[in-house]
Each structure stands twice: as structure tokens, then as C-alpha cells.
Structure 1
Amino acid sequence: MITVVIPLYNKAPYLQRALDSVYTQTAPADEILVVNDGSTDGGGQIAHAQIDPRVRVNDQPNQGVSAARNRGIAAATQPFLAFLDADDWWLPGYLGRIREMIEAHPGAALYGTGFATARADQIVRTYGVRLRGADSQTGFGLVDYFRSATGRLVICASSMVVPKATALAVGGFPVGVPLAEDHEFWARLALQGRFALAPEALARYDVGVPGQAATYWQTGYKMQFDILSYHRFLASEWHGMSRQAARRQTGFVTFCRHELATALLQRLYWNRFDAAEAFCRELCLETLPAGCRLRFGRWLATHRCAQAAWRGLMRMAHGLRVRNK
């Protein structure tokens, strides 16, 4: 029923922990597929040394995490794909909860749980969907991802299970995208249907891997000033909607506004006004709320109202979060 896909690149010290968390699931996986993406630290040897007969290892030259996940999607023999990064891990009840959701909602586009960031096995912060009404009684629900994820994280790359057919239908993960490739994948899936989500944090996302934080912030600082593939995708989908479709997809429209406005705020926060201007001109000036467009237009004309634009955008972003609650 479920293939676990583990992309591996130079995470040898953590791979066994990830695999052990799969072995100890109360509802076992049917197949475990490690895609060794050109590791040079011995991680591939650790994967090949596993004695569990469910483990298969696919070796490939280094192509990036999206290509590794896509290799796993193509090679999987089971109808559902559970993704787990090599430096993350699951609590024993994770796959059991996923199976419950699959049985209750067999047509969902994605199944997932909440997660917790962890450092040295200590929880830093937990994330998850907010359920209401009957869903809060069952412990999971079928939700509109765009409404649930506006202004918050509800899943991570290691807390999602996707039907293989749906993953193939959306083209898998975007290759060559250095940041937010999983967010774009989720958005593509969410346009296909609703997500079955549980709020409990049954996955652990390790933020204490040496070098990971520094690499993330260096990459993130640079990439936030580029035009991300993720933002291009959101803007393209939004611009391509008819007015009637936009009225039906209010959750998606609100989500796009929040994501694009937040990206613009990041550029203004770091005083990268050239990047802010390029971002707006290419992607989102026409899609931002009228008040935001007016403030940004005045700033372009005078270059003296950047702080006013900043304050206005902050109020606008806060308003979007409040309306979504």
C-alpha cells in the first residue's frame, strides 16, 4: 500500500535514525526506497547494508532533492508514497494515522500530519492544521489546503503521503528549483483536490544538523531576492483564472495574496528595493490589494515612502491572516 521514499545526499550520520523510525512503525510500510543522490560521505553504503527485505536502494549521480524524489516516485511499486528526508524521522504511530485517513478519504490529493522542529531530540516548535467541528472529534479532516495554510505551516516534506497517480499527474517535484520546491508541489496537488490532514505532530524535522541552518539562511537570503519558481507558479495560476473561477477559489486567491505579499515584504525588510520592484513588475503588482498597489506605486515615484509601504504592507498581511482565522 505505501512506499517510503527517502532522498539521500550526504546525510550518513542521520540515515539510520530515519530508517529505524520506519522499521518501528506500528503500521508497517510495504516498501522502503532510498534514492542515493550521489552521496560522498558513506551514506550509500549504509543504505546498501540494510538487512530489511523491504529496502531497495537506487543510486544516481547528484541531481538535487527534487530529482531524487521524482526517481522514487517513478520506481515505487505501491500506490501511496510517503516521503521522508534522510535527516528527519517519524514517531511510531505516523503511518498508522496515515492509513486511517486513506481509509476515510480515499480520494484525497494528499495525506499528512503535523510536525515538530527538533534540535538534539528536543522539540523547538510544533506545526499543524487547525480542525473545527466534527473533524476535531475524529482527529483528522478533509480540508482546503489553501485556506488552512494561509499564514501558517500545516505539513512539511517529511509529513506527507501522496497517491502515486496524483504525484505523476502534477509532474512530480519541480527540478532545478533550489528553494520552496515542496511548497510548489503542495500547491499543484491542492489544485487537484483536498488534503486529508491531522494536527498531531507525528513527524520530526531536524533543524540541528550541522551546517544546515547556515546553508539555509545563506541560500534563503539570496533566493528571497530572486523570482522564485514557486511565486511564478502562483502568479501564473492566479492570472490565468477567469473571474468566475476566482470567485469559486477564494481560498486560493487569499493564499496567493498572502504568499506574494510576504515575499514582497521580505525584499522591503532587507532594503532590497530593486528586487522588490522587479518582483512586483513581473509577478504580483496587479494581484495585490488596491491599497498595497497604491503604496508601492507612490514609493516607486518618490523612493521616499519605503517605510510607509512597509507599514501598509504589514497591516495588509496582518489583515489577511485575521480574515483567514
Structure 2
Amino acid sequence: MPPSVSIIMPCYNAAAYLPQSVGSVLSQTFTDWELIAVDDGSSDGTLDWLQTRTDRRVRVHTQVNQGVSATRNAGLRQARGKYVAFLDADDTWAPSFLEKMLAALEKRPDAVLAYCGWKNMGLPGLRGEPFTPPDYETPAKRETLLAGCRWPIHAALTKREAIIAAGGFDPNLKNAEDYALWLEVAGTTAIVRVPEVLAHYHFHGGNQASGNLARAALQLLDAQQAYLARHPDFAAQLGRVRRRDLLYGNLLKQGYENYWKRDLPAARTIFRRVMRSGYGRARDWFYMLPALLPMPIHESLLKILDNSSGKTSRNPENRG
């Protein structure tokens, strides 16, 4: 008899984290699950560790390295449960995650997805505080979901048939692949919130490369544009002005975030993309136009600004 829940865990050189992540699965109060751990061509001891597990609910699949989207899709092809959850090999769940998420979905037969709150482990200050998202099941849900990813991949439980109908993960996306899937799954069907922090997103130190920050923002834009192209009625309903605000306003906000952190490589890449679309107010273009200059000149201009009257604290995105 198939399990109620299939848990898909993509694994790539994750041997150091697997005892904690798999341990959080083994500690679930709801026990009718299968864990499909897909080793994506690891070169450390990941596969050896997985193959020594004795719990029969843990199933191991191995493949040559193909990336996280293809790895999750490989797990989906083997999944047998009515419901599917995704847990990356370095993240964890609270022991009651599956029990509470499944109960929420079973109370709402019309809902295809349940989502919950999460905590960023290893980040200082407010970024490390627990966060419980609002109830997105409102008349504006589709716009809200289009504007950005609203929960991390391991903070959701979804009906498998809905994921299959949505086509699974886009292997062409190295970022925003989960955003693209949630948008397709949840945009026009009911979802339910579990207002508790049940998922833990672990940060392990080190800074994300600037190129990856820009790539993440641009691939989210790609996913937005692809969704609107597949759903022209929704695009028409939004209208041109609202579409541009949701797409390029969101992108510009990310560009500013990088700019004020003085992450110029990422900011310049994003600003150039926004300018190509013709989006932004005159004041936005004041900040974006220097991105067309050679990097040394741009850096020199910023040094002048930084040494002047505190202009770096005047983020236009924070002005009323």
C-alpha cells in the first residue's frame, strides 16, 4: 500500500548535513511517509551515508549530476504518495510538520497546497526571526503570488496530482524554479495556511556570489513572463501598467537592495535590465544610469557620494 506522503530530498555533496535533515524526517509524529533521497552525482560521502540507512521508508536513487530541478523531478517520478513535500538536504522540519500540514489539507478538500511559517537559522537580527506568512487565499492571491515567492520550498505540502498537472520543475531554471511551480499550482486553486513556524531554513555562512544574486532576480523575471505568456487572460486582466509594476518594479526593488549594500556587480546587471524595459521614475534613472558606465567610473562616483552628505542612507525605495 503506498504511503500518504512522499518526501523528495535532492542531495548534492550534503554528507555533513544529512544526519540533521534526515533525522528531522525520522522524528516526524506522522509516520506514513516515504523519503526519496536523490543523489545528484555527489563526490563526497553522500551516497554512502544514504545507502547505509536501515529504515525501509528511506529510498535512495542516484544519477549523474543534472541540477536541482531535474533531481526533484526524478524524485517526483518515483513518488507514490497522494501528497508531496520537498526538503533540501541541509534544511529541517519541526517534528509536527507533516501531521499539522496534512491535517490542514484534509480539512479543506478543495485545497491543493498547505504552507506554513519558517525560521532562517544562522542569520543575525530580524532576518533570523521566525516568520509566519499571512493568509494569501484572498481575491488578490494571484497577483500576490506573481509578485514573488511567498514561502520556501520546504514550507509546503502539496497534492501530487497538482504538481504533475503543473509539469513539475523547469530544469532550465537554476533559480526561481520553486516560485514558478508554486505560481502554477496555487494561482487558481485553493491553498490553506498553517499559522505556525514548522520549517527551518539553514544558512551555513559565506556570501552568495554577486552573479548568483543577479541571476536569481532575472530568472524570477523570466518565470513571471513565462507564466503571463501561458495565461494571457490573466495578463490582460492585470493591464499593462500593473504588469510592469509587478515585474519590473519587483526587479528594481532587488536592484536597489544590492545597490545600497554596494554590491555593484549585481545592482548594475539588474539596473541595465530594468532600463532596457524603459521602466522607472526620473529619480530611479538617476541611480540606474551610472550602471552604463565602466565599473571603475561607477565606483569612483559612489565614493564621492559616500563621502558627501550621507546620501547612501537615502534609499528612494524607503521614502514615502
In the superposition, the TM-score normalised over structure 1's length comes to 0.74
Question: Does 2:212 align with 1:223?
Answer: yes
1:322 alignment partner in structure 2: none
Selected match of 1:57 from 50, 55, 60:
60
Selected match of 1:37 from 31, 36, 40:
40
**What is the identity, as a one-letter code, of the residue corresponding to 2:203?**
V
Secondary structure of the 1:92 match is coil
Secondary structure of the 1:100 match is helix
Instruction: Say if 1:172 and 1:192 are closer, same or farther in 2 by CA, change over 3 A.
Output: farther
Instruction: Say if 1:25 and 1:253 are closer, same or farther in 2 by CA, change over 3 A.
Output: farther
Selected match of 2:269 from 256, 275, 289:
275
**What is the identity, as a one-letter code, of the residue corresponding to 2:273?**
F
Question: How far apart, CA to CA, are the structure 1 residues paired with 2:201 and 2:99?
Answer: 19
8 Å CA contact 1:109–1:192 kept in 2: the answer is no
Instruction: Say if 1:48 and 1:242 are closer, same or farther in 2 by CA, change over 3 A.
Output: closer
Deviation at 1:102, TM superposition (A): 1.2
**1:2-52 CA distances to partner (integer Å, 9 max, x unpaired)?**
101111111112212222221221112421111111122211122111111
Question: How far apart, CA to CA, are the structure 2 residues paired with 1:32 and 1:301?
Answer: 50
Instruction: Say if 1:7 and 1:237 are closer, same or farther in 2 by CA, change over 3 A.
Output: closer
**1:262-310 CA distances to partner (integer Å, 9 max, x unpaired)?**
233246444457524531245x545xxxxx34434566779899999x9
Q: Structure 1 regions of 5+ residues with no counterpart?
A: 132-140, 287-291, 320-325
Instruction: Say if 1:105 and 1:142 are closer, same or farther in 2 by CA, change over 3 A.
Output: farther
For 1:246-257, list aligned pairs within 5 A.
246=238, 255-256=246-247
1:147 alignment partner in structure 2: 144
Deviation at 1:222, TM superposition (A): 1.0
Question: Does 2:101 align with 1:113?
Answer: no
1:128 alignment partner in structure 2: 132
Instruction: Say if 1:255 and 1:263 are closer, same or farther in 2 by CA, change over 3 A.
Output: same
Instruction: Say if 1:75 and 1:192 are closer, same or farther in 2 by CA, change over 3 A.
Output: farther
Secondary structure of the 1:130 match is coil
Deviation at 1:238, TM superposition (A): 4.8
| Worse-matched range after superposition: 45-54 or 266-275 | 266-275
Instruction: Say if 1:117 and 1:271 are closer, same or farther in 2 by CA, change over 3 A.
Output: closer
In the superposition, the TM-score normalised over structure 2's length comes to 0.75
Instruction: Say if 1:225 and 1:102 are closer, same or farther in 2 by CA, change over 3 A.
Output: closer
Secondary structure of the 1:128 match is coil
2:101 alignment partner in structure 1: 98
Question: How far apart, CA to CA, are the structure 2 residues paired with 1:194 and 1:243?
Answer: 20
Selected match of 1:207 from 197, 203, 208:
203
2:308 alignment partner in structure 1: none
Q: Structure 2 regions of 5+ residues with no counterpart?
A: 306-310
Question: How far apart, CA to CA, are the structure 2 residues paired with 1:142 and 1:63?
Answer: 35
CA RMSD of aligned residues (A): 3.6
Secondary structure of the 1:33 match is strand
Selected match of 2:251 from 223, 243, 260:
260
Question: How far apart, CA to CA, are the structure 2 residues paired with 1:67 and 1:243?
Answer: 29
Secondary structure of the 1:158 match is helix
8 Å CA contact 1:285–1:293 kept in 2: the answer is no
8 Å CA contact 1:39–1:62 kept in 2: the answer is yes
Instruction: Say if 1:96 and 1:222 are closer, same or farther in 2 by CA, change over 3 A.
Output: same
Selected match of 1:245 from 237, 251, 269:
237
**1:236-258 CA distances to partner (integer Å, 9 max, x unpaired)?**
545755675217xx8x8875465
Deviation at 1:150, TM superposition (A): 6.0
Question: How far apart, CA to CA, are the structure 2 residues paired with 1:244 and 1:149?
Answer: 14
Deviation at 1:217, TM superposition (A): 1.3
Q: Percent identity?
A: 24
Instruction: Say if 1:236 and 1:285 are closer, same or farther in 2 by CA, change over 3 A.
Output: farther
8 Å CA contact 1:109–1:166 kept in 2: the answer is yes
Question: Does 2:75 align with 1:72?
Answer: yes
Question: How far apart, CA to CA, are the structure 1 residues paired with 2:287 and 2:8?
Answer: 47
**What is the identity, as a one-letter code, of the residue corresponding to 1:72?**
G
